[in-house]
């Protein structure tokens, strides 16, 4: 059976403080336009919103969109750009990637798309690059190195890994994301992984975003402390 892949788009937005000086009615209308664009996409595709208010200084909101092709993701961002909120926001970070089966996985039947209703409290994301000499290692040597990495990860069952690939699609090589209910468990996992051999082949894995999983409405409300109201 042909492997089914999905495009994954992570869009991190920073809102200009001037937006919060608009009237409550104007801000409410801006939010509703943003929500409408997301719901149009989310009717047929996967979309989740996350708040970064209080966890990052360079972005406030992240939209995670997944689709079989790039065209729906393109159309989503066209609609978002038409919303009033985007007139006061900038894309602080943007990552495009694609799902594919890992060469090191012993779970080939693991789904390549998120399972509905499986959201954890936190979603931690970062772009990653490997050193070029990693790719020159024989396949069996890379497998040996990764077995240690996988064994360490399995000692932290509360962390679910979501790796997507960006070769030729975006600047980074991978976008690595983790579902977690306990940030302390993730901290301990990463600290242990630093001592593995695989870590020596990492070129870069920053910036790191700790995202709070919330509803789209809650993520927008966190921008100004005002609840999204119904149209007047």
Q: Convert the pLDDT of each residue in 158-213 to its tens digit.
A: 999 999 999 999 999 999 999 999 999 999 999 999 999 999 999 999 999 999 99
Domain span holding position 127 = 122-211
Which of helix, strand or coil describes residue 210? strand
Q: Flag whether 114 is in a domain.
A: no
Q: Is residue 92 part of a domain?
A: yes
Q: Would residue 56 count as lying in a domain? A: yes
Same domain, 153 and 71: no
Task: Please report which confidence band the pLDDT of residue 116 belongs to, taking 50, 70 and 90 as the band edges.
Answer: very low
Q: Is 60 exposed, middle or buried (0-12, 13-18, 19+ CB in 10 A)?
A: buried
Q: How far is CA 216 from CA 44, 76, 100, 131, 198, in A?
A: 16, 15, 27, 37, 37
Q: Are residues 28 and 76 in the same domain?
A: yes
For residue 179, tell me if it sits in a domain: yes
Q: Are residues 126 and 168 both part of a single domain?
A: yes
Whether 29 maps to a domain, the answer reads yes
Say whether both 150 and 199 belong to one domain. Answer: yes
Whole-model pTM: value is 0.92
Phi, psi (5° rounding) for residue 55?
-110, -20
How many domains, in total, are found in the chain?
2
């Amino acid at each position: 059976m042909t492997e089914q892949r999905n495009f994954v788009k992570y869009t991190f937005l920073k809102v200009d403080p001037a937006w919060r000086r608009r009237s409550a009615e104007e801000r409410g209308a801006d939010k509703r336009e943003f929500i409408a664009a997301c719901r149009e996409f989310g009717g047929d595709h996967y979309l989740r919103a996350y708040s970064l208010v209080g966890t990052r200084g360079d972005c406030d909101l992240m939209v995670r969109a997944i689709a079989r092709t790039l065209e729906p993701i393109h159309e989503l961002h066209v609609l978002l750009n038409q919303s009033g909120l985007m007139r006061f926001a900038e894309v602080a970070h943007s990552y495009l990637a694609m799902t594919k089966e890992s060469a090191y996985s012993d779970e080939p039947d693991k789904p390549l798309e998120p399972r509905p209703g499986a959201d954890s409290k936190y979603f931690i994301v970062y772009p990653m690059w490997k050193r070029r000499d990693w790719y020159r290692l024989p396949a069996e040597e890379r497998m040996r190195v990764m077995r240690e990495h996988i064994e360490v990860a399995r000692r932290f069952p509360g962390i679910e890994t979501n790796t997507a690939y960006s070769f030729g699609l975006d600047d980074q090589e991978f976008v690595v994301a983790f579902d977690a209910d306990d940030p302390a468990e993730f901290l301990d996992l990463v600290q242990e992984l630093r001592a593995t051999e695989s870590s020596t082949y990492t070129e870069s894995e920053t910036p790191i975003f700790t995202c709070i999983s919330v509803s789209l409405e809650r993520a927008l409300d966190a921008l100004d402390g005002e609840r999204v109201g119904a149209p007047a």
